[in-house]
Amino acid sequence: LPAGLSQWFPALEVLDVSGTGLAEMGTELLSLPSLHTLLAKNNRLGGPGSLPKGLGQAPLARSLRVLNLSGNRFSEVPPALLRLRGLRSLSLGGNRLHSIPPDIQELQSLEFLYLGGNFITAIPPELAKLPSLRYLVLCDNKIQSIPPQLAQLHSLRSLSLHNNLLTYLPREILNLVHLEELSLRGNPLVVRFVRDLTYNPPSLQELAGRTVKARNIPYAPSDLPESLVRYLSLASNCPNPKCGGVYFDSCVRQIKFVDFCGKYRLPLMHYLCSPECSSPFSSASQSSTSQSESDSEDEASVAAHRMQKVLLG
């Protein structure tokens, strides 16, 4: 950045240095107390010293609202950015990121987060601790699963997950009742659906534990070692209403198609206590009438209001 920038433009609010071949931003940036929008996309930023030291303590930490560093060379999210607590929009698309730092939760004012076009393989649960987040773009990465905690993003309106490696969605995603757009195209869950996954038979301990829980055999802490009492408290109920059984470590993981808002069918991971509990699952190729087709017009309009777009192709 040119020397004397803060002297020439002390009240500068918007600075766009995109596409200028910039490899670093100097300390002049720290002397712009009114700057609320910084656009520096499509440059060569990302190496050591790309961002000025003290960025997190400068007036920018309070004034900056929009930061766009897409199309650069960052291999990790710079820690200094996580101290810009006033940020509402952060774009780091088209970089070389392999992960999202858990400290992303520090950006409590963030409403828009763009991390598309990187090499991200996992989403940290801490991402769900952004109460104001409305638009989350994670497309064109290598993400294989969605943490169920993401359902805590109650303000989320748009979630872009296309062109990843997703084979299923967690059931908890149905709790995103304000979601208006969900983009899933280009994921394995769209072009092929996983049915029967690996099932490891239960151990003798689990078989005994299942019997105790399923038959309601009474026991007290004085009857069993503390480790077994703790183990029995970890039982999960089988979701099959005709079963009534429980499971501990051994379960059948299958994909079940669930109506979302009575309008769309999403593949969600479903856990059963044994293969005998599996029930017929809906197939993408089935032509049978779905429940959504029998919904009343009023229900359909409510569903359309809650979920306007599910982009599968």
Structural domain count of the chain = 1
Give the HSE-up count for residue 127: Cα atoms under 13 Å, Cβ half-sphere.
Answer: 24
Residue whose entry in the numeric block shows the structure tokens 């803060």: 6
10 within some domain: yes
258 within some domain: no
> How far from 184 is each of 37, 155, 158, 160, CA to CA, in Å?
31, 20, 12, 7
209 within some domain: no
Region at 173 (left for phi over 0; alpha for psi -120 to 50; beta for the rest): alpha
User: Tens digit of pLDDT for each residue in 88-144?
Assistant: 999 999 999 999 999 999 999 999 999 999 999 999 999 999 999 999 999 999 999
Give yes or no for a contact between 138 and 117, defined as CB atoms under 8 angstroms apart. no
> What would you report as the CA-atom Rg of the chain, rounded to the nearest whole angstrom?
25
Q: Dihedrals φ, ψ of 231, to 5°?
A: -60, -45
33 within some domain: yes
163 within some domain: yes
pTM of the model: 0.65
| 89 closest CA partner among 16, 37, 156 | 37
By residue range, what is the domain housing residue 149?
Answer: 5-193
Residue 200 is which amino acid?
N
> How far from 277 is each of 140, 200, 241, 242, 281, CA to CA, in Å?
37, 15, 9, 8, 12
Strand residues in 87-193 grouped as ranges (E): 89-91, 112-114, 135-137, 158-160, 181-183
Q: Dihedrals φ, ψ of 309, to 5°?
A: -145, 125
User: pLDDT tens, position by position, for the chain (313 residues)?
Assistant: 444 455 566 778 899 999 999 999 888 888 888 889 999 999 999 998 899 888 888 788 888 999 999 999 999 999 999 999 999 999 999 999 999 999 999 999 999 999 999 999 999 999 999 999 999 999 999 999 999 999 999 999 999 999 999 988 888 888 888 888 888 888 887 755 444 445 678 888 988 988 998 888 998 888 888 889 899 998 888 887 778 788 888 887 766 666 555 555 566 666 778 777 764 333 332 322 333 323 333 333 333 334 344 555 4
Sign of the torsion formed by the C-alpha atoms of 72, 77, 83 and 89: positive
235 within some domain: no
C-alpha 232: how far from chain center: 32
Domain CATH number, residue 63: 3.80.10.10
60 within some domain: yes
